[in-house]
Structure 1
């Protein structure tokens, strides 16, 4: 993230010539940006005075490794095998090096209708994953966790520090989440931070850098953990006479974290309780109410009491 609009470029290297040119090209990129052959960047080295323009071509994982936004494709494996075993073999993601078993032998029909057709679905899938690495890296992982900070009353507003770093850290605390789950029990895949008010990009960069260094906040290492940031310089608006204090800045975060599984597990447990209780007691009640309680109004009253007891039992659980 920088003051300029962030651009991300995906490189496609197809065929023998494309793979050989791509291998030389990424070697040059690494030399220009000071990235080592294993994808790591020396911690004591500042490239371009803090310039992060290399993110246009590289994605950074939670472990600090820089992975090229590139896909190598060839029907014949010899050339790409040189990339797999070469000096920069640890730089590329293995799934982004796609090869077949034999080439098309300069036959267009063979490459278009048979051998090439067999590999095209895999290439499209890898490209789609690389292109759509966002808040939702895979279609089945689509339950964002919403967080808002600061949630503070007017009485406490004058006694709290509400800097950009403070409200950013508060977004990773369970007390500010809209869903009851502990993010410390899961790992983050992506985060989208939307700021309002007196916020500058420099403070946001510093706050995010501090978040990444915390051991209590974990990120996955199998996909780039991106932070999408938006800033609206209009201060947050509150309802006159409401309980919330008028603050100079606020942030709303949408995050994709595996900790959301706790909410679904809790819901599944409550469903099991309902299913168990109804399965055990409902047949008994169906026989008991018509026999012991003749008036229809009393039957409904008894059933209402039973359902009230059931809801209380579930809440206690």
Structure 2
């Protein structure tokens, strides 16, 4: 058996902290780890030490850092149900927030928090025997998730250049905005982290709200509802590291199979089946049906339609009791023949399949019904450029008027940074158009 590959997870900012709650709740359920770190007796299977480390007392604790420049949301962890799960020094807070300002997260406040954060990460990494990857979760619209993450990734790429860095990022939604300067923050951090991330999985809250409302009949979704959906995808992507599978794959396979060109590293994610818990009719969901569902734009976690773009790659990760792999291959051929899934002409072997026979776990009392088989669809599709186009036009509207500029300049950023970042997004759009044509 090969050595267990360890992952360090890093959750940044308010959104990152709330996503961490959903992820660790799910991972603990999957591995039978109680909120105090005790391992339940019957759950000794799996390679869960890829994500958890053991304390001297024999308890299990996440190999994670949760960092926010202001303390409110992390304080909720310290008083919540999982307060005994985390090592206290892995929860890092500052005293004031980044005020939704990239420059505060990167220059002023971020500089105060970066050393302690890197020091804690170094200690965690020193206790790893086979460190494989960093997984970062954050929102790019606010100040900490954009600015501080950019600063952190610059440092990590120097200190751990050979290690994989995967980013799960909440991007601005087309019609929902919580922060007026989201376009600035998002464009600046995309520019700033472009060369430091191997793969960035994008979600937007509007797509998640739609899934909750339309598919799960949740009338007024909270961030907990949205984050639990996202946690399911993160769980599927990392399941092969945490459980023994048959046709398994690892995080390097994501980079190798999904990212044909280093800059085009923004895959779409979809998940199926998404069925509300009160319709627990999971016995009649076929592999064929969930495979079709995971190509449905309504199941995608970012608001764009893959049918109007071209696929460069597609990975389907199945979990559960898969009875008929040939049936899955037949449905994929059907989708390709009918042109529902159009691939660029320069890539011939375009589908990668992963199978893991342990079914997905759902949170008791949560929105999703348990299902015997599930699939996550990770696809690199040129349609994502339409999301960039939307973001760039919102950026331009404010940039032409120099709206809110003084807030950024006062924190030490230069005006040329805005022009450079915007030019990089234009170049990214060109790259996607070139790949498509």
Q: TM-score category by the smaller chain?
A: 0.3 to 0.5
Query: Max radius of gyration: which structure?
Result: 1
